[in-house]
Structure 1
Amino acid sequence: MKFGRNLSQFTVPEWSTSYINYKALKKLIKSAAEQIKAGQDPDLAGFFYNLDRNVEDVDYFYNKKYSEFARRLKLLEERYGYSMEGRHPLEPEDRHDLREALLDLRYHLRRLQWYGEVNRRGFVKITKKLDKKVGAQAQKRYLETKVDPTPFASNERVFRSQDRINAWMAIITDQSKVDDKASDDASSTHSSLSLKRGSARPYLNLPTSIVIAVDDALRKDDTHVLLELLETLKVTADEAGDTVYPRVLRTLIQRSILHRSRAVLTLLLTRVDTLEEDDDINRRNCLHRVVISIGREQPTTDSEPAASMVLNFPPETTRYITPAAPPTLQPPRPVVKEEHMPQQLARDDSAVTHFQFLLDSLRHDQHESLMAKDLSGRTPLHYAAQYGFKVVCEVIIEHLIEWGMFDVSDGIDGPLWQDNDGWAPLHLSVVGGHPKTTRCLLDAEKDNDPSPERSVIRKQIPKSSAVLALATKANFIDIVQLLVDAGVDINYQDEQGETALHVAARFCHDECAQILLDGSEDQKADTELAENTYSWTPLFIACVDGCLSVAKMIISAGADVDRFDSSGWTAKEHAALRGHLEIARCLAEVSPGPPATELDFSSSTPNLPGSESSSPPSQSSLTDRRSNAPGPTSGGSGLRNTEPIKTFGHRYLTDESMILVSLGTMDMRKPLETVSLDRIPMENAHATQLDTSLSMVITASGAHGEPEVIDLPVQDNISTEPIVFHTTDPSKVRLLFDLVPTYAGSKEKIVGRGVALISSIKPTVGSHRINLKGDSTVPIVAANTLEVIGSVTFNFLVITPFKHPKMSIAGNQTYWRSMSSTMVIGHRGLGKNMASRNSLQLGENTVESFIAAANLGASYVEFDVQLTKDHVPVIYHDFLVSETGIDAPVHTMTLDQFLELGIGRYRHALPGSVKAGDPPGDGPRQRSMSVGGSEYDPAELTEKIKHTRDFKKKGFKGNTRGEHIQAPFATLEELFTKIPKPVGFNIELKYPMLHESEEEEMDTYAVELNSFVDTILKTVYDLGGGRDMLFSSFNPDICLLLSFKQPSIPVLFLSDAGASPVGDIRASSLQEAIRFASRWNLLGIVTQAEPLVLCPRLVRIVKESGLVCVSYGTLNNDGNNVDSQVAEGIDAVIVDSVLGITNGLIQRQGKGDRTPGLSPNPSAVNDQEADSAKGAVTVPTLERTNQDSLSPDAIPPALL
């Protein structure tokens, strides 16, 4: 689990600075690991000192917050405890007040619970990382002595408080089945006056007739009747205590506001000295409650269209709990989309006019109530801004100005206006996404304090700069512009060193980025400000997260594109490594990057440009998939020395099958939730077990293996870390997905379970065929009610053992021989066929092409193997065979059908073919078929295949007469028998992934994976004795099967490295290829050459990971590109231009120099000879008059 990278997802935004500083602690561990690697003793005193301070800070903050919430709960118990415990029914108004208060308090307690749980998990993870990287063995002792004794580690007090709240909510639900809307205290229209009640209010022994009469007077706005009744109420209240009557009057004021009885309201306001209610649950007065009631009743219309991703939820979801999800910043409120917005709340709205009347009716000594702060330190203006009601803010501000109470000398966001957590009304308006309200507040400040030093003052308020970053994150374009114009510090750096421009680059909010870069007259965004961990500027963030548009903006703004981060890598290298090649190309146009240098593997790796040290740059900043603050992922440890390449065979399956289970989808194109749990209505929250942090425990019945515990919500890319089980009979395995409370202390407390039967979860599509859609979804059933409460999506891969009498691993068999130079591998033989007319090419993937490549210096030849319908391995590159005139997958054709397509065309093209009716005899000698001479017209084939996908895409078809030197199709067996044993084989297993089958518009099924691999392995072990061989595949699952089924032939993972869009995340970038190959102990990777050509130093990353590095692609046909990779130590290059590249490498190493990696002739071939060689491949090279393999003597002398 990548805790650091996902920490920001679990933090309560207001408390984000009070969490464990995971990033800094991880950096200290990395420094210690590097000391060990360098042979030094690590100094851990500094780490443990910082770790202790983190524990103390978290514990202090947790206890402070809990004390605040516990005090509120105690107030509730004092006010309502007797009624709740005695089961005496509460009046509707009290019921509503209490329910709202309980929901609000539990909301905050849940946030505190998450705070404690996330921080405890952070200390567990960081101490585990310390043990793993440094070998300190300190986790168990530290957790037991320093972390577990703290209150935040157990959350026991929070759980007890939540249990108390849940019990009370159950009583409230039983007492009244009110609908959701009636839960708002301001919307209640019950006629019962809250005077006769239990301990919720002072008990008044009033006849029912008096109660009804008072309520009737309030409804009818009858001041005469009310005056008479007040005398009776005062007498009764005075008997209950001196402070009772003022409380009764304030209750009547609240009821008159509800009924909008203006005359009665005016009367009552003259009878009370103050509107403050010390016994109120939240210490709010009637002005607070009026604004809150407007906010709860009216959906806001002040929201940005660009903010839909943050605010896009219908009103009914505001009364639901999302299980196992972190709480949100804003308390629930109704928000609607722009297209469904009602008419904006206006001045003449009854709620607004009545609120204005209330303010106008206040006496002078009651004016201070408009600035009164509640328990959270918020005024009525805070709630008006939070709910996004511009007109209510205007009304409040106008009265504050009229009463001389609108002090903005320190800014509208100054200390005077901040609540207990430092949030001013302006901040709440910003994070709520309310541009009109934000403008209203800023305009009010400007009109009432037009100080020219305002921008200077604003820079002294870090909270305003912090909300600028939040607005940028939410893509509140209009609000970002307002804040920039208002002088908020654009270049403010938070504790992580990040600015708002870093945030814009991370989330690819280009409009916000442009606003920040444009800035104002006084300031503009500084593109060179770097965050603290890796010294990444915003350009680095854009490159790491793949945001091309923001990267271009930052480059245009004059950013330093040649800058190195703290690990010694450039932004271009970060982009290329992570598959963002468009960004890398863009940077390459403006910066050539650091020069490639010669590698001397006998000593240290090359120096970093501009560095005096002989140490290579650290990998630490390259290990993260994304830039997500506030912490990087766990990954590489910044190792200094190159890991040794694997030399001996690996562990493989012998008797048992392996089952790999991956949570989530492998298709990165799908926005699919891994574990989806149904929402819980607030009314039922007291009875659910899902209102807590949850984990999923994955086990397998009928198989053995360690259970895996995954904390929810499931993090991104968890699908790349499968869970491993072993079994003798996969058909009897059942996968169990158990939902348990994360910190219940036992995995036996199951909340829900999902079950999948391996034998039947995937539908069959025929004998030895499987569906390429690997995702499976099963429901999760509640343990107590057996109701479906959600679902879990997963993938699984079954790998069965392969056995062959010739398969063994001997002591002298090695994976990879030590090499002093780069090997050349011929692509599909002598090179893939292209549309170029510069020379006539040998047909790709043919015997002749392979032999020619070997004789021109190729150490290995690379070819593609697929299975026919009758499971025979054949050599063919494309998934679809278009020679038929239709697009037919190889696995739908028998061997005879497949070979006939090649033999039939070849037979027609032979020089000896004659037309029917021609007399036999000594006619003129036929010319080579490389030039022509037969009566077969290539245009016929072109006409036949012109409607196929491959022809439409490329405009030609490989190995076709007229375009290339044609030869028949071949089988794998034929290659083993006809190509000399000294020629090594790079056998690419061609198996479609889901996105490839969709691109080719194929049916999404193929040969069953185990059958596919077993068939090819049998042929290889039957015929491949004594030959050097490599396996490779673009399909990650094929690589896994090849690796676990046999121990002696190395496996390379092929990757496009971001050059083309893919569905499987494992195939999406060079970084993911390295992760995958390292995770599964593969020999190495074969990457598309472009990332290495753009950034040759990335070769080091592969090699320092202990992997062989090979590249392929048309860029390798340029000798300069190959030279730059060779200079960094690449192990092999797959090329089309075998002769040219081989000759170039020989010239580079010196005339007449022979190396183990190359098999050239002693003398170099000059350009004239090379051009002659291109035209010298004639019939003797290609004619197949017998079935004997071609010898090197058959190759024309010019090629030798």
Structure 2
Amino acid sequence: MKFSQNFHLFQVPEWESFYIKSVKCPAACDTNFNGPLELYACLGSNIDLLNTFRSRKYEFLHRKETELRKRYGIELYLSAIPALDEVDEHELQVLYEAFTELRQELTNLRWYDRVNQDAIHRIYAKLEKFSKTIGPSHYDHKSTWIGLQLGWETQSLKDVERLNNLVTDISRAQSTVQSGSSLRSLCLKNVCDSHALAYPNTEYHAIRDNEPSILARLLDQKNLVNDSPSSGLEALLSGLLEFSMTCQSRGCTDILLSANLSNIGDVIDHNFLNHLIAVSGRSSMPVYRGDSECRTQGPADHSDTENGVSRLFQALGQLGPSQRSVLQITDTFGRLPLHYAARYGLTAICQSILDSLHDFEQGSSAVREAVLSKDSEGYTPLYSGVSRNHSAVTRLFLETLEMGYQTSDQAKDEHLRSVLSDLLLLALRSRYDDIVHLLISSHININHQSSRGETALYIAAKIGREDYVNTILKASPNQAVIDIFETVNGWTPLFVACARGHLEIVELLLNAGASQTILDHRGWTAKQHAAFRGHLAVASILEGYFTGESSGGTASKFFNIAIGANNKLRDGYSHIIVNLGTMQEGKQVTAVDLSCCSSEFSLSLEADTRFSIEVSIHGGSGSSGLVQLPILDDMVNDPFIFRTKNLSKAQLVFSIFCATPVEGKKGILVGSGTALLESDKNQLFGAQRESLIRELSVPILERETLKYMGTVTFTFVIAKPFIHLDTPSIVYPFKDEGQIQLVGHRGLGQNTTSRKHLQLGENTIEVDVTLCSQIHVQLTRDLVPVIYHDFSLSESGTDIPIHDLNFQQFMYASNVQSPRGNPISVLGGPILQTARGQTGRGKPRSRSLTSDRERGADDVQDRMKHTVDFMKKGFKPNTRGDFIQDSFATLEELLIEMPETIGFNIEIKYPRLHEAVDAGVAPVAIDLNTFIDTSLDKIYRFGGNRTIILSSFTPEVCILLALKQQAYHVMLITNAGKQPVTDKELRGGSLQVAVRFAKQWNLAGVVFAADTLLLCPQLVKYVQNLGLICASYGLENNIPENAKMQAAAGLDIIMADRVGLVAKSLELHPYDKVGL
């Protein structure tokens, strides 16, 4: 999956408008682009926007931490609190929650930066890949940005380290604190130090033990209750009240809030209220508690919140009318008490504040202004309620605003609609169901667009929420909302639903009248995007729309791809190709899973960006690769490649690093794991055998304790050198460029249940001698390359794979159906026809059907009835009685007995995992290198000057073919999303990823299931403009109209079963001796 397609999944939803807006900038330069200066100006302005937003957020967090430290007398930037084990446990909890919240907010900011950093890196990489004009100015621009990043990274890592130390120390102190006379309150101590007062130790203990009578006596004795206390005494009263509420000492709180404190308004100011609301609110937030075994999310302590609410009700009740203005005074962050109550979801406090404001102002205007008042970050209490998914608070605010809606001030009403519409987009991105329904039911503009031009319908379609789409469509006043396009790509909701394969949503949009003829900024249709990404079920329900031959859309894109290094293996070296994660779709596997690790290096925050993984080799060579965690892309076509001369000693090493401000971005080693690649393979599977499951999981152990830290899952393949076929081919695989080449699929055609035409048995020499054809090569257990398509030999009456049979066992299934039980080669050789129909030695008449041969065929038919393949298809190719049966053949026989003028597309039919699973057999096969080397050796020895293309469905086979030899072109074969999807291989899951894989390994081209190209013929030119051969196969190619459509689109190779019929429709001679 491409990073840009998942970009929205990695965003902090409330910051969506501040993310980089030019992720598609390099693609845009293909059309509406006036040169590199415009591009770099666009990129530079985006980087400036990111830096400005990041600096503003960072400065806000810095002020927030400063205020917290001032309140408790903690020195600024100090990484440890002195005598922490003597701090009261109630205050420890308050500090733990406050510093944890700060750490989370800083982590969010670092995550924001990480996502944008990846996006910008990809833009620079695309420029370097596609542009011919890269020069010093490009690298100066890039180095300037990298320098800015290094400065931010160093500073933010210092802050993360400081906050981590504080949280860890406080948590450790919480687990060891004991009641005693030595404990103290940091808040009270700070008040006393600031006003030169003695620390109220006796009052502290009275409050801590909830002894209201003792506290009352102490207050009397110290004359704290009088009509005009000094500022120091007011501060002390405020500190005692705050500590009493923190300790939940209700009796003492009642004493401190009693009526005889006539100056209570001087004690409870807006800062006091804000702090207590925050303290109460944080106690209801879920917190992560470190654990030596596993990371767990601690449950919220709702009793603390309820007590906090009741205490604040008491405080609010003591405020006289003249003092209730504190509810309308902002603090240093521009926030009202209502901001904090909304932020933490304290609905009862929000209601109390609104009631007080309503009563005090005797109207709703002050209430409305409070709900919509902005703090210094531009956020309102309503925004805080929505962004933090507090549905009850949001409902309260919406009901409050409803009372003031449709005023005489039209501008205010329109502003409110705009505010609510923006919040709907936020709620949709965040998937807050209750709030989404609340806002849709309120006064919104359903056609409202974000800064990127996205509507509510677009966002709902993008995130794949059918219920949201349905609700929005019902709420839409007219059809205009359906086809509004966003500004980055020019996509409508239909486009984004098609690109992500949301079939049900596409159907809803089509039923609502969405246009299928709109073109995006690249000139593509929604249907083309669906087919391109392998969503063929989606593409099939859309109408075709021809954008014009090479005048726009897919056919007009020509990319100047930089030519990669020669893939040839170096003499004596083996290559180890490693991908992080799985290459099989549908497997729920995390490439690097550190969810269980110690508290010291715990990924306690989901978006922690300090960690990275380094992949290296011990006992080999090759650059190690460092990947930042968590991995944002699937890295399907971004492998690590290492070389070694001694595979038995080669070890893959996975090292986990944690970034620090001293060691830099790579940081210190915190854990590692090692994988042995070859040393135990023979012991596990036997000589020359290996598993078809290529994923391995390696445990990661902590450096210091060797405790289990997590796992790394990776996929790998080893390419061993092949000493022949190292001369690059100079033969182009076509006679005439631009003329489509017709290839017989499985010889003269794949056998089917159809009785409409004569069918010679596939997998035989007789069908392959008549034309240029595709053949399938498999290996028997004794390493004989044979021509056979299916995974298992059902003729044997079992589901045994070909690679588990020796050659004689394989041939017996064919011989038993032949005259006198002899293979055709024993009977005098096959009929040899030249491409023009001239006949060699005749076939003996003894091959005419007899009762003995009929009995043998019946026996074979009877044996096959209970095999998986026969039960699935109802027949078996090349069986007497259903087809004109002939003997099986070997690759050597085929290469020797057929004229060199006949070309081959040789498919290396290595067993695939899904085939073994379907047949219910063990996923073990012949060693891949042995399989390929044995096949290549036959081709080297007997291929002569024949035109040959090598191909395979298996990406690992294509990689090894490209690395081992240079003489023949290699092509990947893929279903490209054809339904039903049985092969879950990610590297062939769509046309998009298949062509990227082909370019990655310098393959000649790709053979697609015809479905994709028939749905969107323009994609043929897209493939060719990337410098690749484009071919197709499938039953659809037997239909003349389909063959003509692909030929008109410029297809290079078409593989068909009905060769004569297709040749006639294309006006080709079916037995041309050219090409394949």
TM-score (normalised: structure 1): 0.78
Whole-Å separation in 1 of the counterparts to 2:81 and 2:390: 43
Q: Is 1:593 aligned to 2:584, yes or no?
A: no
CA contact (8 A) 2:773 2:903 kept: yes
CA contact (8 A) 1:367 1:403 kept: yes
Cα-to-partner distance string for 1:1150-1195 (whole Å, 9 max, x where unaligned): xx99988689xxxxxxxxxxxxxxxxxxxxxxxxxxxxxxxxxxxx
Q: Is 1:723 aligned to 2:640, yes or no?
A: yes
Q: Is 1:1123 aligned to 2:1044, yes or no?
A: yes
Whole-Å separation in 2 of the counterparts to 1:1068 and 1:269: 77
1:831–1:451 Cα change, 3 Å: farther
CA contact (8 A) 2:244 2:253 kept: no
Cα-to-partner distance string for 1:354-382 (whole Å, 9 max, x where unaligned): 65455444322343344555555444544
Q: Is 1:15 aligned to 2:19, yes or no?
A: no
The aligned residue for residue 1133 of structure 1 is: 1054
Q: Is 1:545 aligned to 2:532, yes or no?
A: no
Whole-Å separation in 2 of the counterparts to 1:1014 and 1:740: 40
Whole-Å separation in 1 of the counterparts to 2:611 and 2:880: 64
Q: Is 1:864 aligned to 2:861, yes or no?
A: no
The aligned residue for residue 792 of structure 2 is: 880
Q: Is 1:617 aligned to 2:616, yes or no?
A: no
1:165–1:846 Cα change, 3 Å: closer
Name the aligned partner's letter for residue 1048 of structure 2: A
Q: Is 1:832 aligned to 2:750, yes or no?
A: yes
The aligned residue for residue 276 of structure 2 is: 289
| Count of paired positions | 1043
Q: Please show how residues 491-890 of structure 1 align to structure 2 within 5 Å.
A: 491-520=447-476, 522=477, 526-587=481-542, 591-594=543-546, 606-608=549-551, 616-617=552-553, 638-639=557-558, 651-678=568-595, 693-741=610-658, 744-745=663-664, 749-760=668-679, 764-804=684-724, 807=725, 809=727, 813-851=731-769, 854=770, 858=771, 860-890=772-802
Whole-Å separation in 2 of the counterparts to 1:683 and 1:268: 50
CA contact (8 A) 1:422 1:463 kept: no
Whole-Å separation in 2 of the counterparts to 1:103 and 1:210: 30
Secondary structure in 2 matching 1:825 = strand
Whole-Å separation in 2 of the counterparts to 1:295 and 1:746: 32
RMSD: 4.4
User: Which region of structure 1 is more displaced relative to structure 2, 1071-1080 or 684-693?
Assistant: 684-693
Name the aligned partner's letter for residue 447 of structure 2: N
The aligned residue for residue 263 of structure 2 is: 272
1:200–1:785 Cα change, 3 Å: farther
Name the aligned partner's letter for residue 743 of structure 2: I
Name the aligned partner's letter for residue 54 of structure 1: N
Cα-to-partner distance string for 1:123-149 (whole Å, 9 max, x where unaligned): 5554454444231233442345x4356
CA contact (8 A) 1:676 1:792 kept: yes
User: Once the 2 structures are TM-superposed, how far is the Cα of residue 815 of structure 1 from its aligned partner?
Assistant: 4.9
Q: Is 1:99 aligned to 2:96, yes or no?
A: yes
Whole-Å separation in 2 of the counterparts to 1:547 and 1:689: 27
Whole-Å separation in 1 of the counterparts to 2:946 and 2:523: 42
Name the aligned partner's letter for residue 138 of structure 1: S
User: Once the 2 structures are TM-superposed, how far is the Cα of residue 1074 of structure 1 from its aligned partner?
Assistant: 0.8
Whole-Å separation in 2 of the counterparts to 1:1013 and 1:413: 74
User: Once the 2 structures are TM-superposed, how far is the Cα of residue 2 of structure 1 from its aligned partner?
Assistant: 6.5
Name the aligned partner's letter for residue 74 of structure 2: G
TM-score (normalised: structure 2): 0.86
Secondary structure in 2 matching 1:561 = coil
1:899–1:201 Cα change, 3 Å: farther
Whole-Å separation in 2 of the counterparts to 1:256 and 1:87: 20
The aligned residue for residue 973 of structure 2 is: 1054
1:221–1:524 Cα change, 3 Å: farther
The aligned residue for residue 837 of structure 2 is: none
CA contact (8 A) 1:700 1:725 kept: yes
User: Which region of structure 1 is more displaced relative to structure 2, 1126-1135 or 719-728?
Assistant: 719-728
Secondary structure in 2 matching 1:426 = helix
Cα-to-partner distance string for 1:833-867 (whole Å, 9 max, x where unaligned): 1112223421122222223xx2xxx4x21122111
Secondary structure in 2 matching 1:274 = helix
The aligned residue for residue 830 of structure 2 is: none
User: Once the 2 structures are TM-superposed, how far is the Cα of residue 463 of structure 1 from its aligned partner?
Assistant: 5.1
CA contact (8 A) 1:820 1:1156 kept: no
The aligned residue for residue 489 of structure 1 is: 445
User: Once the 2 structures are TM-superposed, how far is the Cα of residue 800 of structure 1 from its aligned partner?
Assistant: 0.5
1:165–1:277 Cα change, 3 Å: farther
Name the aligned partner's letter for residue 244 of structure 1: A
Name the aligned partner's letter for residue 518 of structure 2: R
The aligned residue for residue 1082 of structure 1 is: 1003
Name the aligned partner's letter for residue 959 of structure 2: L
CA contact (8 A) 2:207 2:244 kept: no
Whole-Å separation in 1 of the counterparts to 2:363 and 2:161: 43
1:687–1:427 Cα change, 3 Å: closer
Cα-to-partner distance string for 1:389-430 (whole Å, 9 max, x where unaligned): 6555445544444444774689689642x4333333433333
User: Once the 2 structures are TM-superposed, how far is the Cα of residue 769 of structure 1 from its aligned partner?
Assistant: 0.7
The aligned residue for residue 339 of structure 1 is: none
The aligned residue for residue 835 of structure 2 is: none
The aligned residue for residue 951 of structure 1 is: 870
Name the aligned partner's letter for residue 57 of structure 2: K
Aligned partner (choices 435, 446, 470) of residue 479 of structure 1: 435
Aligned partner (choices 53, 58, 76) of residue 45 of structure 2: 53
User: Which region of structure 1 is more displaced relative to structure 2, 887-896 or 1112-1121?
Assistant: 887-896
Q: Is 1:362 aligned to 2:319, yes or no?
A: yes
Name the aligned partner's letter for residue 855 of structure 2: Y
CA contact (8 A) 2:577 2:717 kept: yes
User: Once the 2 structures are TM-superposed, how far is the Cα of residue 1033 of structure 1 from its aligned partner?
Assistant: 0.8
Whole-Å separation in 2 of the counterparts to 1:515 and 1:67: 40
Aligned partner (choices 197, 203, 224) of residue 189 of structure 2: 197
CA contact (8 A) 1:536 1:565 kept: yes
1:153–1:777 Cα change, 3 Å: same
Secondary structure in 2 matching 1:988 = strand
User: Once the 2 structures are TM-superposed, how far is the Cα of residue 63 of structure 1 from its aligned partner?
Assistant: 3.2
The aligned residue for residue 1020 of structure 1 is: 939
Cα-to-partner distance string for 1:743-778 (whole Å, 9 max, x where unaligned): 844757433332222234767211111111111122
1:224–1:655 Cα change, 3 Å: closer
CA contact (8 A) 1:288 1:379 kept: no
CA contact (8 A) 1:257 1:265 kept: no
User: Once the 2 structures are TM-superposed, how far is the Cα of residue 11 of structure 1 from its aligned partner?
Assistant: 4.2
Secondary structure in 2 matching 1:1003 = coil
Name the aligned partner's letter for residue 15 of structure 1: W
Whole-Å separation in 1 of the counterparts to 2:200 and 2:233: 21
Cα-to-partner distance string for 1:453-494 (whole Å, 9 max, x where unaligned): 999936656554343233223433443222112132322222
Whole-Å separation in 1 of the counterparts to 2:352 and 2:793: 75
Name the aligned partner's letter for residue 770 of structure 1: E
User: Once the 2 structures are TM-superposed, how far is the Cα of residue 1023 of structure 1 from its aligned partner?
Assistant: 1.7
The aligned residue for residue 998 of structure 1 is: 917
User: Once the 2 structures are TM-superposed, how far is the Cα of residue 47 of structure 1 from its aligned partner?
Assistant: 3.0
User: Once the 2 structures are TM-superposed, how far is the Cα of residue 1056 of structure 1 from its aligned partner?
Assistant: 0.6
Whole-Å separation in 1 of the counterparts to 2:74 and 2:355: 41
Secondary structure in 2 matching 1:1074 = helix
User: Once the 2 structures are TM-superposed, how far is the Cα of residue 1117 of structure 1 from its aligned partner?
Assistant: 0.5
Q: Is 1:44 aligned to 2:45, yes or no?
A: no
User: Once the 2 structures are TM-superposed, how far is the Cα of residue 988 of structure 1 from its aligned partner?
Assistant: 1.1
Whole-Å separation in 1 of the counterparts to 2:1050 and 2:150: 51
Aligned identity (percent) is 30
Whole-Å separation in 2 of the counterparts to 1:562 and 1:11: 31
Name the aligned partner's letter for residue 1075 of structure 1: R
Secondary structure in 2 matching 1:662 = strand
The aligned residue for residue 970 of structure 1 is: 889
